[in-house]
Amino acid sequence: MFDFTLDATDGAARAGTLVLPHGTVRTPAFMPVGTHGAVRGLHPDEVRRAGAQIVLGNTYHLHLRPGEDVVRQLGGIQRFMHWSGPVLTDSGGFQVFSLEGLRKITEDAVTFTSHVDGSLRALSPEKATEIQWALGSDIAMQFDHVVPGQATRELAEEGMERSLRWLERCRVRHEALQDGGPACQALWPIVQGGTHEDLRRRSLEGILTRGDWSGIAVGGLSVGEPKPVMHRILEHLAPILPPDRPRYLMGVGFPDDLLEGIARGVDLFDCVAATRNGRHGSAWTATGKVNVRGATLKLSGAPLDAECDCETCRTFSRGYLRHLFVVEEILGLRLVSIHNIRFLVRLGEEARRRILEGTFNDWSRAWLARYHGGEAA
Ligand SMILES: [Zn+2]
């Protein structure tokens, strides 16, 4: 049910095949985020046609609404949201640690105030594991202690050590839920340790002594630290992560991040930016960002991105998309979201092709230079 094959490498970049209970994922791959059990604004068929192979669900949000028992009774997350492919769920750790001032952390659990109705709730390693089990995702993430990018070394170390202790508790609970039955959900650990290479190494070593994991995530990056710092941490981890396991860089997924991450050995990415930017009329193209509301687009009959094969770019003009945003027509947000998702999915597909050919590094350098120095509107 869980298998990963490394198909090719090119420098540190990797092309792989990840087999999960609900389908196969060719990596490197971008995972659209379905926060509330939907990729915001889009029909699952549109997400599928954009080429997405796996989507992400948010434990924190689905626990609050509708509650994991509702999802379970309605057939699990795949049937609930009408997505037949693989699903990865986060553990809610990132969300509860982001609730600055509304949460209390103890060794046992994080107590927080629900942003929905103000009720007092708690997430613990055991609870986060139980929720994800009830949701029925292919991949569940450990509950971890996330610290901000500018955290002191002391705080980063505390979060890293606690994450290891919590990993053990997640593992025990997950094994009990599995109860010797067939493996239908994987539990993945998360490397923490802030911006400190030695803490990251200790985190990984601690993870590897605690089990034989079918995949490993890197968390706590892109949380306020400068990008070169993230690149340095990834470069440090690339040679010491087990080569035969998929690597997931959590919450990172702007176009340039994708290529910089792939160049440093990352296989899986997720980010809300594709749909969030789409809703704000910000589209990615090969030559940089385009503001769909821009007055210069008014009379443009050209597609959003002439090089893109998405439904939006094959069908509609820039001038029409701009009009939809000006009149606040909901179709506009949906069309730009479709384009942005396809843009990242296609970037993963192209990177994979280049890795298989052995031309990844030259191609990605040229791609990034054009993207950053582009002639976009
Ligand atoms: Zn497009």
**Residue-by-residue DSSP string for 27-76:** ESEEE-EETTSS-TT--HHHHHHTT---EEE-HHHHHHTT-HHHHHHTTH
In the block, tokens 């948010």 appear at: 58
Per-residue pLDDT of the chain (377 residues; tens, 9 = 90+): 899 999 999 999 999 999 999 999 999 999 999 999 999 999 999 999 999 999 999 999 999 999 999 999 999 999 999 999 999 999 998 988 888 778 999 999 999 999 899 999 999 999 999 999 999 999 999 999 999 888 999 999 999 999 999 999 999 999 999 999 988 999 999 999 999 999 999 999 999 999 999 999 999 999 889 999 999 999 999 999 999 999 999 999 999 999 999 999 999 999 999 999 999 999 999 999 999 999 999 999 999 999 999 999 999 999 999 999 999 999 999 999 999 999 999 999 999 999 999 999 999 999 999 999 965 44
Mind listing the pLDDT tens digit for each residue in 142-189?
999 999 888 999 999 999 999 999 999 999 999 999 999 988 999 999
**Distance (Å, rounded) from C-alpha 105 to C-alpha 161?**
14
pLDDT score at 376: 45
User: Are β-strands 33-34 and 87-89 bridged in parallel, bridged antiparallel, or unpaired?
Assistant: unpaired
Q: 255-263 vs 330-357: helix axis angle to the nearest 10?
A: 20
- The residues assigned a catalytic role are 90, 270
In a 13 Å sphere around the CA of 271, the CA atoms on its Cβ side amount to 25
SS3 category, 359:
coil
From the CA of 191, how far away is ligand 1's center (Å)? 34
User: Are β-strands 186-188 and 139-141 bridged in parallel, bridged antiparallel, or unpaired?
Assistant: parallel
From the CA of 333, how far away is ligand 1's center (Å)? 13
pLDDT score at 220: 94
From the CA of 28, how far away is ligand 1's center (Å)? 20
From the CA of 66, how far away is ligand 1's center (Å)? 33
pLDDT score at 271: 94
From the CA of 113, how far away is ligand 1's center (Å)? 40
From the CA of 346, how far away is ligand 1's center (Å)? 10
From the CA of 217, how far away is ligand 1's center (Å)? 29
Task: Compute φ and ψ for 195, nearest 5 degrees.
Answer: -100, 15
Residue 138 is encoded by which pair of tokens? 């292919």
From the CA of 36, how far away is ligand 1's center (Å)? 25
From the CA of 254, how far away is ligand 1's center (Å)? 16
pLDDT score at 224: 87
Task: Compute φ and ψ for 224, nearest 5 degrees.
Answer: 110, -10
From the CA of 81, how far away is ligand 1's center (Å)? 24
**Distance (Å, rounded) from C-alpha 166 to C-alpha 160?**
10
Q: How far is CA 126 from the centre of its chain?
A: 22
Among residues 309, 311, 335, 310, the alpha carbon closest in space to that of 322 is found at 335
In the block, tokens 């068929």 appear at: 45
pLDDT score at 148: 87
SS3 category, 112:
strand
Q: How far is CA 278 from CA 11, 176, 314, 339, 342, in A?
A: 33, 42, 17, 8, 12
pLDDT score at 365: 97
SS3 category, 375:
coil
Q: How far is CA 310 from the centre of its chain?
A: 21
Residue 311 is encoded by which pair of tokens? 């439904």
From the CA of 202, how far away is ligand 1's center (Å)? 42
Residue 119 is encoded by which pair of tokens? 């009720």
Query: Within 10 Å of residue 153's Cβ, how many Cβ atoms?
Result: 13
Residue 73 is encoded by which pair of tokens? 């009774």
**Distance (Å, rounded) from C-alpha 331 to C-alpha 193?**
42
Among residues 139, 150, 198, the alpha carbon closest in space to that of 4 is found at 139
Among residues 9, 13, 8, 54, the alpha carbon closest in space to that of 264 is found at 13
